[in-house]
Structure 1
Amino acid sequence: MTGTTPEFVINESNRFWIGVVSASHVSHAIEEGIAQTCSGKAGPLGRMRSGDWLIYYSPRTDKKSGEVLQAFTAIGRVADDIVYPFKINDDFIPHRRNMRYLPCRSVKIADLLDKLTFTKGRRNWGYSFRFGQFEINREDFMTIANEMLKVS
């Protein structure tokens, strides 16, 4: 899946998702052309369909000891309807999906807190991110995507 970039086309059947993953894991996902969320659980990935859009939010640069980042770090489109296991080692076999990522820039969530319906006016705006993957509405997706895809 690497090397393919989707067109930025939105249609009525698309759904929009946020995946919460450290920036270092996002870099690996882009390189491999895959998505993996929620510690590799199949269920959250299975809710997505081919053509849906995923934006990664990275709370930190690395999973545990990384620096605080709190930024949207990647945007991509689900390539197909296949969720598959991928053996990392005998003790860890996470599930993945194939993705096509767009070139983009990172965007700090602090710049968008008052513009997104799932964070606006919420002191505890980070609560929904604790689930690892969640669906957002088209308006919120477009707000984030427009910032990420801006040409400097």
Structure 2
Amino acid sequence: MRYWIGVVSHDHVLRGITGGFCQLCHGKSGPLGRMEPGDWLIYYSPSEHMGEAGSCQRFTAIGQIQDADAYPVEINADTYYRRNVAYRPCREVPVRPMIEQLTFIRNKQRWGAAFRFGHLEIGQNDFELIARAMLDAAPSAIEPDTHRN
């Protein structure tokens, strides 16, 4: 099992939660192909809406990848790739109070750089720190989901 962060505007995260899917890096298939069923995905939203600067800065969703492959979706003659995700009910958590504790953020002064590529793998300890804050520290809430679609 691996742990991932996807960087997506808050409004796009909400669409994914409603539809039960994730879409990363403007719909590219590559990042989705790195994830396996059962892997965890946490969304970090730097902004409320795509193109805005720093208006959100929260971890906004958490879930587990459900399917083995990315699938294409056509929207306005463009093709985007998605994966199905079982999202967990959670609260959104601001990133700033966690910066000092998160090891994947190497430069604490320029912490936003850690998120610049849109998709990154993180270690289990960082995942658990964020997940416990989002899921109210219920240890059973971050156990693998055995009821896959």
TM-score (norm: length of structure 2)? 0.88
Deviation at 1:82, TM superposition (A): 1.5
**Match among 104, 116, 121 for residue 118 of structure 1:** 104
How far, CA to CA, are the matches of 1:38 and 1:112 in structure 2? 24
Give the 3-state SS of the residue equivalent to 1:94 in structure 2: strand
Among all aligned residue pairs of Structure 1 and Structure 2, give the percentage whose two residues are the same amino acid. Answer: 48
Q: Which residue of 2 aligns with 1:43?
A: 30
- How many residues are aligned here? 137
CA RMSD of aligned residues (A): 1.4
Alignment of 1:62-73 (within 5 A): 62-65=49-52, 68-73=55-60
| Structure 2 stretches lacking a partner, 5+ long | 138-149
1:24 is aligned to 11
Is the Cα contact below 8 Å between 2:106 and 2:114 reproduced in 1? no
Code of the aligned partner of 1:132: G
> Which one-letter code corresponds to 2:35 in the other structure?
M
Ranges of 4+ aligned residues in structure 1 off by more than 6 Å = none
The residue aligned with 2:86 is 100
Gaps in structure 1 of 5+ consecutive residues: 1-13
Give 1:119 deviation, angstroms.
2.0
Contact 2:10 2:45 (8 Å CA) reproduced:
yes
Give 1:122's aligned amino acid. Answer: K
Query: Match for residue 42 of structure 2?
Result: 55
The two structures have a TM-score, normalised by structure 1, of 0.86
Q: Which secondary structure does the structure 2 equivalent of 1:68 belong to?
A: coil
> Post-superposition shift, 1:67?
6.3
Partner of 1:79: 66
Report the alpha carbon displacement of residue 128 of structure 1 after superposing the two structures with TM: 2.2
**Shift in CA distance, 117/30, structure 1 to aligned 2, threshold 3 Å:** same
**In 1: Cα distance, 2:39 partner to 2:22 partner:** 12
Give the match for residue 10 of structure 1.
none
